[in-house]
Copies of this chain bind each other. A is one copy, B any other.
Amino acid sequence: METQVKNETLISKEQLLAHWQGHRALTRRTIEAFPEKDLFSFSIGGMRTFGVLVAELLAIAGPGVVGLATDEWKELDERDQAQGNKAKLLELWDQTTEQINEYWAQIPEGRFQEKLVAFGQYEDQGYCTLLYFIDNEVHHRGQGYVYLRALGIAPPAFWER
Protein backbone atom coordinates (compact mmCIF):
# COMPACT_ATOMS: atom_id res chain seq x y z
CA MET A 1 0.00 0.00 0.00
CA GLU A 2 2.75 2.45 0.89
CA THR A 3 4.52 2.22 -2.44
CA GLN A 4 1.49 2.73 -4.65
CA VAL A 5 0.48 6.27 -5.55
CA LYS A 6 -3.20 6.67 -4.75
CA ASN A 7 -5.19 9.78 -4.11
CA GLU A 8 -8.31 11.56 -5.21
CA THR A 9 -8.57 11.36 -9.00
CA LEU A 10 -7.44 14.52 -10.78
CA ILE A 11 -8.63 13.19 -14.13
CA SER A 12 -10.24 9.87 -14.90
CA LYS A 13 -9.39 7.57 -17.78
CA GLU A 14 -12.69 8.36 -19.53
CA GLN A 15 -12.07 12.09 -19.15
CA LEU A 16 -8.59 11.73 -20.60
CA LEU A 17 -10.01 9.93 -23.65
CA ALA A 18 -12.63 12.65 -24.14
CA HIS A 19 -9.89 15.28 -23.81
CA TRP A 20 -7.80 13.57 -26.49
CA GLN A 21 -10.69 12.99 -28.87
CA GLY A 22 -11.86 16.58 -28.34
CA HIS A 23 -8.47 17.76 -29.57
CA ARG A 24 -8.61 15.32 -32.46
CA ALA A 25 -12.03 16.62 -33.50
CA LEU A 26 -10.57 20.13 -33.61
CA THR A 27 -7.59 18.93 -35.65
CA ARG A 28 -10.03 17.29 -38.07
CA ARG A 29 -11.79 20.64 -38.54
CA THR A 30 -8.38 22.24 -39.12
CA ILE A 31 -7.60 19.71 -41.87
CA GLU A 32 -11.03 20.41 -43.39
CA ALA A 33 -10.32 24.16 -43.43
CA PHE A 34 -7.37 23.70 -45.82
CA PRO A 35 -7.90 23.76 -49.57
CA GLU A 36 -6.59 20.36 -50.79
CA LYS A 37 -3.79 21.93 -52.82
CA ASP A 38 -2.47 24.01 -49.90
CA LEU A 39 -2.79 21.14 -47.45
CA PHE A 40 -0.09 19.27 -49.34
CA SER A 41 1.99 22.13 -50.74
CA PHE A 42 1.88 25.24 -48.53
CA SER A 43 4.50 25.82 -45.85
CA ILE A 44 6.43 28.62 -44.14
CA GLY A 45 10.14 28.88 -43.39
CA GLY A 46 11.05 25.49 -44.85
CA MET A 47 8.71 23.62 -42.51
CA ARG A 48 6.67 20.55 -43.45
CA THR A 49 3.24 21.00 -45.06
CA PHE A 50 0.24 20.54 -42.77
CA GLY A 51 -0.58 17.33 -44.67
CA VAL A 52 2.83 15.89 -43.74
CA LEU A 53 2.44 17.05 -40.12
CA VAL A 54 -0.93 15.27 -40.01
CA ALA A 55 0.72 12.11 -41.40
CA GLU A 56 3.03 12.28 -38.35
CA LEU A 57 0.06 12.66 -36.01
CA LEU A 58 -1.59 9.61 -37.59
CA ALA A 59 1.63 7.59 -37.29
CA ILE A 60 1.71 8.36 -33.58
CA ALA A 61 -1.95 8.18 -32.51
CA GLY A 62 -3.09 4.81 -33.89
CA PRO A 63 0.04 2.72 -33.24
CA GLY A 64 0.45 4.74 -30.02
CA VAL A 65 -2.87 3.69 -28.53
CA VAL A 66 -2.17 0.07 -29.53
CA GLY A 67 1.17 0.38 -27.74
CA LEU A 68 -0.45 1.81 -24.61
CA ALA A 69 -2.99 -1.02 -24.61
CA THR A 70 -0.61 -3.92 -25.34
CA ASP A 71 2.86 -2.51 -24.53
CA GLU A 72 3.90 -3.88 -27.92
CA TRP A 73 5.50 -1.17 -30.01
CA LYS A 74 6.41 -1.07 -33.68
CA GLU A 75 8.86 1.40 -35.16
CA LEU A 76 7.38 4.79 -35.99
CA ASP A 77 6.31 4.89 -39.65
CA GLU A 78 5.50 8.48 -40.62
CA ARG A 79 5.04 7.88 -44.35
CA ASP A 80 2.20 9.94 -45.79
CA GLN A 81 -0.45 7.42 -46.81
CA ALA A 82 -2.90 10.02 -48.13
CA GLN A 83 -0.61 10.97 -51.06
CA GLY A 84 -2.06 14.41 -51.64
CA ASN A 85 -5.67 13.29 -51.24
CA LYS A 86 -7.56 15.28 -48.59
CA ALA A 87 -10.57 12.93 -48.49
CA LYS A 88 -8.21 10.00 -47.94
CA LEU A 89 -6.43 11.88 -45.14
CA LEU A 90 -9.77 12.52 -43.40
CA GLU A 91 -10.72 8.87 -43.87
CA LEU A 92 -7.46 7.77 -42.22
CA TRP A 93 -8.16 10.29 -39.44
CA ASP A 94 -11.60 8.78 -38.80
CA GLN A 95 -10.22 5.24 -38.82
CA THR A 96 -7.73 6.28 -36.14
CA THR A 97 -10.55 7.84 -34.11
CA GLU A 98 -12.30 4.44 -34.06
CA GLN A 99 -9.06 2.63 -33.28
CA ILE A 100 -8.40 4.91 -30.31
CA ASN A 101 -11.88 4.31 -28.89
CA GLU A 102 -11.46 0.55 -29.33
CA TYR A 103 -8.00 0.18 -27.80
CA TRP A 104 -8.52 2.80 -25.07
CA ALA A 105 -10.81 0.41 -23.22
CA GLN A 106 -7.96 -2.12 -23.16
CA ILE A 107 -5.37 0.16 -21.54
CA PRO A 108 -4.82 -0.98 -17.95
CA GLU A 109 -5.14 2.06 -15.63
CA GLY A 110 -1.78 1.19 -14.09
CA ARG A 111 -0.13 1.66 -17.49
CA PHE A 112 -0.12 5.43 -17.07
CA GLN A 113 2.34 5.23 -14.19
CA GLU A 114 4.50 2.48 -15.73
CA LYS A 115 7.76 3.10 -17.56
CA LEU A 116 7.31 2.42 -21.29
CA VAL A 117 9.62 2.53 -24.27
CA ALA A 118 7.23 4.00 -26.82
CA PHE A 119 7.92 2.98 -30.43
CA GLY A 120 10.93 1.07 -29.11
CA GLN A 121 12.88 4.27 -28.47
CA TYR A 122 11.13 6.87 -26.25
CA GLU A 123 11.40 5.88 -22.60
CA ASP A 124 8.97 7.59 -20.26
CA GLN A 125 6.03 6.94 -17.97
CA GLY A 126 2.74 6.13 -19.66
CA TYR A 127 1.04 9.40 -18.79
CA CYS A 128 4.01 11.37 -20.20
CA THR A 129 3.85 9.32 -23.39
CA LEU A 130 0.14 9.98 -23.85
CA LEU A 131 0.42 13.68 -22.98
CA TYR A 132 3.27 13.90 -25.48
CA PHE A 133 0.98 12.52 -28.20
CA ILE A 134 -1.65 15.15 -27.37
CA ASP A 135 0.78 18.05 -26.90
CA ASN A 136 2.54 17.22 -30.16
CA GLU A 137 -0.82 17.41 -31.93
CA VAL A 138 -1.71 20.75 -30.29
CA HIS A 139 1.76 22.07 -31.23
CA HIS A 140 1.50 21.12 -34.91
CA ARG A 141 -2.15 22.17 -35.17
CA GLY A 142 -1.14 25.61 -33.86
CA GLN A 143 1.33 25.73 -36.74
CA GLY A 144 -1.48 24.79 -39.11
CA TYR A 145 -3.41 27.79 -37.79
CA VAL A 146 -0.55 30.09 -38.89
CA TYR A 147 -0.56 28.47 -42.35
CA LEU A 148 -4.31 29.07 -42.58
CA ARG A 149 -3.97 32.70 -41.47
CA ALA A 150 -1.15 33.21 -44.00
CA LEU A 151 -3.52 31.81 -46.65
CA GLY A 152 -6.23 34.26 -45.57
CA ILE A 153 -8.42 31.49 -44.10
CA ALA A 154 -9.96 31.73 -40.61
CA PRO A 155 -9.07 28.62 -38.56
CA PRO A 156 -11.71 26.87 -36.41
CA ALA A 157 -12.28 28.25 -32.90
CA PHE A 158 -9.58 26.87 -30.59
CA TRP A 159 -11.89 26.53 -27.60
CA GLU A 160 -14.45 24.35 -29.41
CA ARG A 161 -13.86 20.63 -28.98
Chain A residues at the B interface, C-beta cutoff of 8 Å: 4-13, 15-16, 19, 23, 44-47, 109-110, 112-113, 127-128, 131-132, 135-136, 138-143, 145-152, 158-159
Contacts and interface: CB of A to CB of B under 8 A. Distances in A.
A139 B113 contact: no
Nearest to A15: B127
Contact of A139 (B15, B44, B132, B138): B138
A153 to B, nearest CB: 9
A142 B136 CA distance: 9
B131 A19 contact: yes
Nearest to A135: B138
A8 B109 contact: yes
Shortest beta-carbon contacts, A-B, top 7: A45-B149, A142-B142, A139-B142, A45-B150, A8-B109, A146-B146, A10-B112
Contact of A143 (B11, B112, B142): B142
Contacts of A112: 9-11
B10 A149 contact: no
Nearest to A132: B159
Nearest to A147: B146
22 contacts: A5-B12, A7-B109, A8-B109, A9-B112, A9-B113, A10-B12, A10-B109, A10-B113, A11-B131, A44-B44, A45-B146, A45-B148, A45-B149, A45-B152, A47-B149, A135-B135, A136-B158, A138-B142, A139-B139, A139-B145, A142-B143, A143-B146
